[in-house]
Amino acid sequence: MKKFWLFCFLSSCILTHAQRDNSFPVIDVLHYTFNLQLNDENNNIKGEAIISIKFLQTIPSFDLDMVKKNSSGRGMIVTGVKENNSPVSFLQEVETIHIYSTAKAGDTVLYTISYAGIPADGLIIDKNKYGHRTFFGDNWPNRAHNWLPCIDNPSDKASVDFIVTAPEHYQVVSNGLQVEENNLPNHFKLTHWRETVDLPVKVMVIGAADFAVNRAGDVDGIPVYSWVYPEDKDQGFHDYGMAKDILPFFIKNLGPYAYRKLANVQSKTQFGGMENASAIFYYENSVGDRKLEALLVHEIAHQWFGNSATEAGWQHVWLSEGFATYMTHLYLENKYGADTLQKRLQQDRDSVIAFSKKKFTPVVDSSVTSNFFQLLNANSYKKGGWVLHMLRRKLGNAIFWMGIKNYYAQYAGKNAATDDFRKIMEAASGQDLQSFFQQWLFTAGHPVLKISWKYDKAKKSVFITIEQTQPVVFQFPLQMAIQSASGEMLQTFSVKEKTTAIDIPLATKPLKILPDPNINLLFEGIVGEVK
Ligand SMILES: [Zn+2]
């Protein structure tokens, strides 16, 4: 997802659901079938979810996540729960459905949850910019359980069917492939989409609106569609059609695309873009946005990282956002050249530095246990991206890409934690990356350097001192450009201590000493001559 800071902050006040702790799961959802009825008279939805659950332990009861109707009149009322078609007892709590079960460890059981209500969030029912009524799922981070009973945590992935009954003027888009579209009595229509690949709930979605749909082209047998408001048809088809030119870069460099179509959808998402698996939602005014290319690339990169290879928990969200950020840089570097990469890295570095002065936390931040909107920050996106950049420079292009490919091959369809990624990169490179990961991802801050130099005319050498002033000492290579009358000299130093002193022979006094001229280190610093 690409965040819109303003929107995120405005909505964060109502989005404080506590996290389901799924680190020791007792059940594993294998499949969801969500039957949903939408109408034009009011915002009530009616749902029947058929959920296939495998029991990992023998337990007398378990919880599904679902927001109960509250005093505002929003939320869902569960009217019945069946276990393999027989009614069972349940208790609806504020955020969960507590279900009494007869299942034993190893059993796979079908549960049918019947419910209805006005979604408090998660399914956005609202007029679009042209005044037409629309329904758009917008689940990130854990807002799905406002309209879908589920395990609302990225660690439990499942395949999904959405069977949507809506007034016939709507076109319905969702994950996977459309397997049925059928007219019903009274001007209703049933649309059935099926995704057979396991997804985290955060990227399961429906969109129902009046759409114009275009097949922009096919890439490796994957049809690429543009779904836009009919009023934006011409420009929208043109703008979203760019997706077909982006897909080949990732297929070539990362591995096969995991899904059987890609739809790029104009929507009411509160984010700039939301990477819903094979049905990416973009903000309404994305059509005509001059920065749309980078947004499309970011969301398409998520189809690999976040959707297919999914973070094991929210604290590892950089495996999704940091990857999408850096993959966007790499795509644009490949298309427009190294200057573009450097410019973007510089901008990101400025954001990371500014963010560290507001909130001094590591990228892998286990302290956030509710309101995961807090994780939509410069650490998850830009520092995460920077870590990948420094890893690429440390390992070299060939090993970096091999490691990334291996990581994707190993975790496609599954979940990974930061250590899983480290182990794959260690295997690819033969290097111990423990301290690299520890300092850049599990330690707050970055090198803050005080660099001073003095030229000794008699000895014809320049004496440089690099002092690390941040709380924890980092280890990193630092390239310096030393400009003098005889030209520019590039030298790389291994910085390991709080203070590093270097003596460099130099015929004339430096005109300027510039640290990291090629933008390969996440740091801040000042350089001064000692007179
Ligand atoms: Zn993203």
- Is pLDDT above 70 for 95? yes
Question: 3-class SS at 9?
Answer: helix
Ligand 1 centroid, distance to 203 Cα (angstroms): 11
Nearest of 346, 365, 523 to residue 443 by alpha carbon: 365
**Separation of CA 103 and ligand 1 centre (Å):** 38
Of the pLDDT bands very low, low, confident and very high (cuts 50, 70, 90), residue 167 is very high
Tokens linked to 201: 């709930």
Which tens digit of pLDDT belongs to each residue from 231-249? 999 999 999 999 999 999 9
pLDDT category at 4 given cuts 50, 70, 90 is low
CB count in 10 Å sphere of residue 447: 21
Give yes or no for residue 15 having a pLDDT over 50: no
Report how far ligand 1's centroid is from the alpha carbon of 514 (Å). Answer: 33
Average pLDDT, the chain: 95
Quickly list H helices, 13-159. none
520 C-alpha to center of ligand 1: Å?
A: 23
CA of 509 to the centre of ligand 1 (A): 47
From CA 104, how far away is CA 119, in angstroms rounded?
33
Distance CA 169, CA 35 (A): 19
> How remote is the CA of residue 29 from the centroid of ligand 1, in Å?
25
Helices (H) and strands (E) in the chain, counts: 11, 29
Q: How far is the CA of 475 from the centre of ligand 1 (A)?
A: 29
116-149 pLDDT, tens digit each: 999 999 999 999 999 999 999 999 999 999 999 9
In this predicted structure, what is the pLDDT of residue 419? 98
Say if residue 43's pLDDT is above 60.
yes
Rounded distance between C-alpha atoms, residue 214 and residue 191, angstroms: 18
pLDDT of 173-222, one tens digit each?
999 999 999 999 999 999 999 999 999 999 999 999 999 999 999 999 99
Measure 313 CA to ligand 1 centroid, in angstroms. 15
pLDDT at 22: 78
Distance, CA 2 to ligand 1 centroid (Å)?
A: 4
What's the gap in Å between 4 CA and the centre of ligand 1? 11
Cα 273 to middle of ligand 1, angstroms: 7
pLDDT of residue 166: 98
Cα of 39 vs centre of ligand 1, distance in Å, is 32
pLDDT of residue 476: 98
pLDDT value for 18: 55
The partner residues of 461 in beta bridges, in order of sequence, read 456, 505
Give, as one character, the DSSP assignment of residue 43. Answer: S
From ligand 1's centre to the CA of 524, what distance in Å?
26
Residue given tokens 């009524």 in the structure block:
133
**Ligand 1 center–CA 302 separation, angstroms:** 7
What is the mean predicted confidence (pLDDT) over 350-362?
Answer: 98
Mean pLDDT calculated for residue range 27-42: 98
Q: Band of the pLDDT at 291, cuts 50, 70, 90?
A: confident
Tell me the CA–centroid distance for residue 260 and ligand 1, in Å: 21
Report CA(365)–ligand 1 centroid distance (Å). Answer: 17
Distance 275 CA to ligand 1 centre (A): 7
Q: For residue range 486-518, list pLDDT tens digits in order.
A: 899 999 999 999 999 999 999 999 999 999 999
Q: 372 alpha carbon to ligand 1 midpoint, in Å?
A: 14
pLDDT (mean) for 432-461: 98
pLDDT at residue 11 greater than cutoff 60: no
Ligand 1 centre distance from Cα of residue 339 (Å): 23
Q: Is the pTM of this model over 0.75?
A: yes
Q: In angstroms, rounded to a whole number, what is the distance separating the alpha carbons of residues 525 and 466?
A: 10
Share of the chain above pLDDT 70, in %: 97
Distance 271 CA to ligand 1 centre (A): 9
**Is residue 3 pLDDT above 90, yes or no?**
no
Q: How far is the CA of 91 from the centre of ligand 1 (A)?
A: 36
